[in-house]
Amino acid sequence: MSTQQLKEHPEFLWHNPDPKKSYDAVIIGGGGHGLATAYYLAKNHGMTNIAILEKGWLAGGNMARNTTIIRSNYLWDESAAIYEQSLKLWEILPEELEYDFLFSQRGVMNLAHTLGDVRESIRRVGANQLNGVDAEWLDPKQVKELCPILNISDNIRYPVMGATYQPRAGIAKHDHVAWAFARKCDELGVDIIQNCEVTGFIKDGERVTGVETSRGTISTGKVGLCAAGHSSLLAEMAGFRLPIQSHPLQALVSELHEPVHPTVVMSNQVHVYVSQAHKGELVMGAGVDSYNGYGQRGSFHVIEEQMAAAVELFPIFARAHVLRTWGGIVDTTMDASPIIGTTPVENMYVNCGWGTGGFKGTPAAGLTFAHTIATGAPHALNKPFSLERFETGALIDEHGAAAVAH
Amino acid sequence: MLLFPCPNCGPRNETEFHYGGQAHVAYPEHPAELTDREWAEYLFYRQNTKGLFAERWVHSAGCRKWFNMLRDTVSYDITAVYRIGQEPPALRTSQPTTGMGMSTTRQGTPEGVQL
Ligand SMILES: Cc1cc2nc3c(=O)[nH]c(=O)nc-3n(C[C@H](O)[C@H](O)[C@H](O)COP(=O)(O)OP(=O)(O)OC[C@H]3O[C@@H](n4cnc5c(N)ncnc54)[C@H](O)[C@@H]3O)c2cc1C
Ligand SMILES: [Zn+2]
């Protein structure tokens, strides 16, 4: 037997403190959005007596289950503004957080397969350019030049009739993003408390004053909700409703391959989006399952349909194998836009409804939600994304806007 | 893939069906009298139950009829199917959430299929 001593454990990125009796603010949910919110609360607003309460482990929800696509080519002005701010933050965050989380601006293509798609796409490119978002329209030949493994022949079921392209878009390594934020939060004095499920709220009239958790009662000045798929359940506990439906969303990876896929390709028509991770696995996402679900798994036919479409578009994938599939629980709204703002409960704020596409929004969600929590009023960027819009009718309908999904 | 017990056709693959969301959401009786808040509730707010949920499905690739189903949104187990217009069958264990002011403790005459 070896007598050699084990090397010392490398330094932990964050501590695991026990919850204190009281905080100035607690953030519910230790996914990307909760972490980014706590980071900006500490950094921009000097609020460091705060805690993140996570029922499971850090980033164990959608944060480390998503396909990591980052882009800002949304149709409407309100969306373009917040997602473009997010992309600008992604561009500076590796340096600011002192952590190389492999943010790679390899471009994202959104394929058009029908004449309707083509019209919508060209319209969106125009809208993007007016909003200062980098966007181009590519014809099939240009598509092929950028991504040679795509099948652009016109005798397939979903022929490629062109694509929109955003060169500054790309991917990042999601678990590293979480760790990067967690380390900085910890350095700034934020308590990251895992295995701490919020089970109820303490209120003084219409004002929230504390939370009940699986690790005891914690009093707090403010509460920020960042619970993604579980947002509506927590809101109900606090005494208000959210227009959210939770659905399973699945993704999968192949075994490792040599680099074959230089960019990110998305198709809303056939619900497939593909990139190749740094290690070499092909990462593919599917569409949501139609039914409401909290099971963190979806139905296999969704994966089957997605693979059929992927193999037709990328014939080279026919010999690849599915290594792993998984699901997350996404919080969808009727207009496919997030809700970031105040709630009917005083001192309680909500950030939810990012649905299938909130990874890219992580930095902007954190920035604007921290502003909302600290000042009690929304930042200019999240003002349109209020809960009230479902009453006023000022919806931000990104559903019909061709660039939905991820 | 889930196996759904269509009340008319028997067990069929999930892919033959389309989802209709929460069941028992009635059209407002006096639409002209609703406040903006009430309209928002009717249009955009639905129960998002974690657990036993009463929901609508249509057998689009079969009998093409709508029906109601009680399904657990965590395990995806199906407890009962019953016809449109019927109350959810009374279950021995937990009660489903029907939302929108429907009492969940009311006892209908369940002719539905319990599984
Ligand atoms: C398969 C898949 C693919 C996706 N692909 C993309 C993509 O390519 N690009 C993109 O932009 N987005 C994508 N998304 C969406 C994106 O992942 C989410 O919008 C985003 O992660 C949500 O924010 P979050 O990271 O804070 O959520 P989460 O990581 O889900 O964080 C919420 C946390 O709240 C915790 N929580 C819940 N209830 C409680 C409670 N009672 N007490 C304490 N804690 C609680 C949960 O445990 C969880 O950790 C995808 C999602 C999935 C599932
Ligand atoms: Zn039938």
The average pLDDT across A350-370 equals: 98
Distance from CA of B102 to the nearest CA of A (A): 17
**Which structural domain range is residue A319 located in?**
104-168+244-329
State the pLDDT at residue A5. 79
How many A from CA of B81 to the centre of ligand 2? Answer: 12
Alpha-carbon distance of B55 to B70, in angstroms, equals 6
Q: Are residues A325 and A248 in the same domain?
A: yes
Beta bridge partners of A272: A267
More confident residue, B66 or B95: B66
Q: CA A330, A333, A339, A345 torsion: positive or negative?
A: negative
- Average of per-residue pLDDT values in chain A: 95
- Structure-token match 């190389």, residue found: A100
pLDDT in tens, A111-170: 999 999 999 999 999 999 999 999 999 999 999 999 999 999 999 989 999 999 999 999
Q: Are residues A325 and A194 in the same domain?
A: no
Q: Are residues A180 and A311 in the same domain?
A: no
Q: Are residues A238 and A248 in the same domain?
A: no
More confident residue, A196 or B114: A196
State the pLDDT at residue A2. 57
Q: What is the CATH number of the domain that holds A234?
A: 3.50.50.60
Confidence of residue B99 (pLDDT cuts 50, 70, 90): very low
Q: What is the CATH number of the domain that holds A129?
A: 3.30.9.10
Residue type, A38: A
pLDDT in tens, A270-289: 888 999 999 999 999 988 99
Question: What's the domain count of chain A?
Answer: 2
User: B92 pLDDT exceeds 90?
Assistant: no
Q: Are residues A300 and A356 in the same domain?
A: no
Tally Cβ neighbours within 10 Å of residue A136: 16
Return the structure tokens found at A160. Answer: 């490629």
User: B102 pLDDT exceeds 70?
Assistant: no
Q: Under an 8 A CB cutoff, do B50 and A294 touch?
A: yes
Q: Is residue A303 part of a domain?
A: yes
The architecture of the domain spanning B3-83 is 2-Layer Sandwich (3.30)
- Structure-token match 């006892």, residue found: B107
State the pLDDT at residue A400. 60
State the pLDDT at residue A253. 96
Q: Is residue A15 part of a domain?
A: no
Secondary structure (H, E, C), A235-266: HHHHCCCCCCEEEEEEEEEEEECCCCCCCEEE
How many A from CA of A33 to the centre of ligand 1? Answer: 8
Ligand at minimal distance from the CA of B66 is 2
- Average of per-residue pLDDT values in chain B: 85
Question: For the whole model, what pTM was predicted?
Answer: 0.94
| Contact criterion met (CB below 8 Å) for A312 and A157 | yes
Residue B21's H or E segment, with its range, is: strand B18-22
Torsion, Cα of A381, A382, A385, A388 (10° steps): -120
Residue of B nearest to A231 (CA): B48
Compute and round to an integer the Cα radius of gyration of chain A.
21
Confidence of residue B108 (pLDDT cuts 50, 70, 90): very low
Q: Are residues A161 and A250 in the same domain?
A: yes
User: A174 pLDDT exceeds 80?
Assistant: yes
How many A from CA of A115 to the centre of ligand 2? Answer: 35
Q: Are residues A144 and A188 in the same domain?
A: no
The predicted complex's ipTM stands at 0.92
Q: Which residues lie below 8 Å from residue A229, measured CB to CB, with a gap of 6+?
A: A61, A62, A246, A294, A328, A329, A330, A331
Q: Is residue A222 part of a domain?
A: yes
**Residue where a domain terminates, one of A283, A305, A329:** A329
Which residues surround ligand 1 with Cβ inside 6 Å? A 28-34, 53-56, 59-63, 65-69, 197-198, 226-228, 230, 234, 249-251, 285, 328, 330, 354, 356-360, 406
Q: Is residue A99 part of a domain?
A: no
pLDDT in tens, A21-41: 999 999 999 999 999 999 999
**CB pairs < 8 Å spanning A and B:** 62
| Contact criterion met (CB below 8 Å) for A89 and A364 | yes
Q: Are residues A272 and A156 in the same domain?
A: yes
Q: Is residue A25 part of a domain?
A: yes
Phi, psi values for residue A355, rounded to 5°:
55, -125
Q: Which residues lie below 8 Å from residue A156, measured CB to CB, with a gap of 6+?
A: A312, A313
State the pLDDT at residue A243. 98
User: A235 pLDDT exceeds 90?
Assistant: yes
Q: Under an 8 A CB cutoff, do A244 and B48 touch?
A: yes
Which atom in ligand 1 lies closest to the alpha carbon of residue A329? Answer: 53
How many A from CA of A305 to the centre of ligand 2? Answer: 23
Which among A335, A361, A355 has a CA at the least distance from the CA of A177?
A361
Q: State the burial class of residue A325 (Cβ atoms within 10 Å of its Cβ: 0-12, 13-18, 19+).
A: middle
E strand segments, A32-142 = 50-53, 69-70, 108-112, 136-138
Q: Is residue A85 part of a domain?
A: no
Phi, psi values for residue A373, rounded to 5°:
-70, -45
Residue A23's H or E segment, with its range, is: strand A22-28
Q: Are residues A248 and A148 in the same domain?
A: yes
User: B98 pLDDT exceeds 90?
Assistant: no
Ligand at minimal distance from the CA of A403 is 1
Q: Is residue A90 part of a domain?
A: no
Interface test mutation site (partner A, options B12, B35, B48, max chain A beta carbons within 10 A): B48
State the pLDDT at residue A286. 87
Which atom in ligand 1 lies closest to the alpha carbon of residue A35? Answer: 26
**Residue where a domain terminates, one of A314, A329, A344:** A329
State the pLDDT at residue B90. 81
DSSP letter string, A313-327: H-GGGGG--EEEEEE
Q: Which residues lie below 8 Å from residue B64, measured CB to CB, with a gap of 6+?
A: B58
A16 touches chain B (CB under 8 A): no
Q: Are residues A159 and A257 in the same domain?
A: yes
Q: Are residues A187 and A159 in the same domain?
A: no
Q: Using DSSP, state whether A155 is helix, strand or coil.
A: coil
Q: Under an 8 A CB cutoff, do B36 and A290 touch?
A: no
Q: State the burial class of residue B12 (Cβ atoms within 10 Å of its Cβ: 0-12, 13-18, 19+).
A: middle
**Residue where a domain terminates, one of A329, A347, A369:** A329
The average pLDDT across A352-363 equals: 97
Which among A146, A160, A115, A136 has a CA at the least distance from the CA of A270?
A160
Interface test mutation site (partner A, options B44, B57, B77, max chain A beta carbons within 10 A): B44
pLDDT in tens, B6-47: 999 999 999 999 999 999 999 999 999 999 999 999 999 999
Q: Are residues A252 and A197 in the same domain?
A: no
| Contact criterion met (CB below 8 Å) for A161 and A118 | yes
Q: Is residue A345 part of a domain?
A: yes
- Structure-token match 């909302």, residue found: A372
User: B72 pLDDT exceeds 80?
Assistant: yes
B53 touches chain A (CB under 8 A): yes
